[in-house]
Amino acid sequence: MQFSDIRGLDSRDTGAMLDLNNEHAEETSLLDLESLNTLLDSAFFARGVNRGATAFLIALSHTASYANPNFMWFRTRRQSFVYVDRILVNQTARGQGIAKTLYSDLFAAAKRAGFDLVVCEVNIDPPNPASEAFHAAMGFTRAGEATIHGGTKTVRYLEKVLT
Evaluate whether 87 touches 56 at the Cβ level (below 8 Å). yes
Q: Rounded to whole angstroms, how far apart are CA atoms 138 and 160?
A: 8
Q: Nearest-5° angle of CA 22, CA 55, CA 86?
A: 60
Q: Give me the sheet containing 6-8, strands edge to edge.
A: 6-8, 45-49, 55-61, 82-89, 117-125, 153-161, 141-148
pLDDT band at 93 (very low <50, low <70, confident <90, very high): very high
Q: Which CATH class is domain 3-161?
A: alpha beta
Is the pLDDT at 56 greater than 90? The verdict is yes
pLDDT in tens, 28-46: 788 999 999 999 999 999 9
**Domain range list for the chain:** 3-161
pLDDT in tens, 95-137: 999 999 999 999 999 999 999 999 999 999 989 999 999 999 9
